Structure 1
Amino acid sequence: MSTPSSVLATLLRTDPARPRITFYEDTDGPTRGERIELSGKVLANWVNKAANALQEELDVSPGSTVRLDLPPHWRSVYWALATWSVGATVVTGTPSSDEQDDVLVTTDPAAAEGFPGEAVLVTLAALARRAPDADPARTAMDEAAELSSYGDQFAAWEEPDDADPALRTDGEDTAYGEVVTDRGWDRGVRVHLEGTDLAEVLSAALAAWAVDGSVVISRGGLDEAARVHRVDTEGITLQQ
């Protein structure tokens, strides 16, 4: 049985320098045109820093819930993997009126400041060093300014049980023992992900890595000519 942590560990053992995430920003805005590529080793470094922040600073552990109010993005992926590294539950989708998560990871400054629990404010731009117009009195963690201070190595204080919820989407839970699925994909598959459903993007990434594959995440719409060009230049073998 595979878990998110075991999948990431396998990537580091087999070929740590190989690209595992390639991200394209195709939405309008100041980051349009960004292309980010993360090897297994670089991905693990981001995951470890975020996991240390969750465990040491925000007191996240098995039984905690971390809502990812983020688009499908390379930063969303490492925050999900970090949450799974500490054994907590990644929450996506529309929150219910009676649902109260322990931590919110968001790009929305107002949501971060108004959240009653712990919050992390994420700036999506690759070279960001602080949140725009950062307020020194802000209570939320400014990821761009603070995450680099956390350690590159991570050891979980507690491990989740296989039956514990790893992913909760619109109130539906997927257990740790079931979150890494076998989709029948060829070994080494390179999957193109264009959807807006973060839970599906995370699930597809885990499935690709479980068969020693990689993912290309395109955020924003592509016309057919651009899609064909990207498939060709990135060596994509499967489109989702």
Structure 2
Amino acid sequence: MSSDPATVPAALAAALRANQNAPLITYYDERLGERTELSAVTLDNWVAKTANLLVDGAALGPDDSAAVLLPAHWQTAAVLLGCLTAGVPVRFGATATGPAPVDVAFAAVDRAEQARAARPAETYLLGLAPMALPLREVPDGALDYVVAVRAFGDRFSSAPADPSGIAWYEPEPVSQAALADRARRHAGESGLLPGGRLLVPVDAEPDPVAWLFAPLLLGASVVLVRNADAERLDAIAATERVTTRT
């Protein structure tokens, strides 16, 4: 890339310009027999829909906040990047609950109780099923993310994320630019190179900076693998032409 992106959403835009059809996230769940691959253009489509859900559907913006209680997964990437693209600050994981309620929560079904503790005005639950299948049952007081998000537009036309705007709470606020800088530093320390391919076992739920933001900022791609033993990880690394492993 000719210049360093100022924000994580700008890095996704740079990936689109570089090669919109190249694999950006590949997700394996060996227990489910799942392999899902998203190109830059496909991920951007999910991100745009999520950002439109937040802005057009929920009327949220920089003065609001989103709790995200999700494991490392390609749908989590869509949610996190959608929030950052819409300029809605994220409270992730342990920081999801705080003294003030959040405006929206995105949570895995098995974390619905945690989501309720964040006191959101609206809750979207994710089953994280292969092929983005909808939930079989939606608990009262919640919506199915994959059903709701598909009703929104494929392009997000609002202004780009403000580098000085808040992107993240941990619990202190982190700006969009600071989050991008952190991801860039992490990428440099990991040994990953531009155009490289990073393998990340995700059973231990790694930091999104490591598995999502850092590869994006560097112009690399990521292979997320769940429920695989060491031998299977080696086989996947060879098949996917991995250059760096965590």
With the shorter chain as reference, the TM-score category is 0.7 to 0.9
CA contact (8 A) 1:8 1:40 kept: yes
Distance 1:80 1:64, change over 3 A: same
Shift of 1:197: 3.7
1:49-79 alpha-carbon deviations (Å, 9 max, x no partner)? 1111111111221122111111110000010
Tell me the secondary structure at the aligned position of residue 106 of structure 1. Answer: strand
Distance 1:203 1:86, change over 3 A: farther
Tell me the secondary structure at the aligned position of residue 68 of structure 1. Answer: strand
Paired residue type of 1:219: R
* Structure 1 position 238 matched with structure 2 position 238: no
Shift of 1:201: 2.9
Correspondences of 1:216-235 after superposition (within 5 Å): 216-220=223-227, 222-235=228-241
Runs of at least 5 residues in structure 2 that lack an aligned partner in the other structure: none
Tell me the secondary structure at the aligned position of residue 9 of structure 2. Answer: helix
- Aligned partners of 1:49, 1:121: CA distance in 2, in Å? 16
Runs of at least 5 residues in structure 1 that lack an aligned partner in the other structure: none
Shift of 1:126: 2.7
Paired residue type of 1:176: Q
* Structure 1 position 194 matched with structure 2 position 201: yes
Distance 1:99 1:25, change over 3 A: farther
Distance 1:89 1:197, change over 3 A: farther
- Aligned partners of 2:55, 2:65: CA distance in 1, in Å? 12
Paired residue type of 1:214: S
CA contact (8 A) 2:102 2:120 kept: no
Partner of 2:10: 6
Partner of 2:123: 119
Partner of 1:69: 69
Tell me the secondary structure at the aligned position of residue 136 of structure 2. Answer: coil
Detail structure 1 runs of 4+ shifted over 6 Å in the superposition.
none
Tell me the secondary structure at the aligned position of residue 88 of structure 1. Answer: coil
With normalisation by structure 1, the TM-score equals 0.86
Fraction of identical pairs, as percent: 27
Shift of 1:118: 1.2
Deviates more, 1:89-98 or 1:226-235: 89-98
Equivalent position to 2:222, from 215, 220, 228: 215
Tell me the secondary structure at the aligned position of residue 127 of structure 2. Answer: coil
Distance 1:203 1:61, change over 3 A: farther
- Aligned partners of 1:173, 1:39: CA distance in 2, in Å? 31
CA contact (8 A) 2:109 2:127 kept: no
Paired residue type of 1:218: V
Tell me the secondary structure at the aligned position of residue 67 of structure 1. Answer: strand
CA contact (8 A) 1:20 1:213 kept: yes
1:189-236 alpha-carbon deviations (Å, 9 max, x no partner)? 1111124345x234442221222210011123x322111111111111
- Aligned partners of 1:62, 1:215: CA distance in 2, in Å? 29
Query: Root-mean-square deviation (CA), in Å?
Result: 2.2
Equivalent position to 1:15, from 13, 19, 24: 19
- Aligned partners of 1:42, 1:134: CA distance in 2, in Å? 26
* Structure 1 position 45 matched with structure 2 position 49: no
- Aligned partners of 1:160, 1:15: CA distance in 2, in Å? 22
* Structure 1 position 133 matched with structure 2 position 137: yes
CA contact (8 A) 1:24 1:219 kept: yes
Partner of 1:106: 107
Deviates more, 1:77-86 or 1:57-66: 57-66
CA contact (8 A) 2:197 2:242 kept: yes
Q: Number of paired residues? A: 230
CA contact (8 A) 1:193 1:201 kept: no
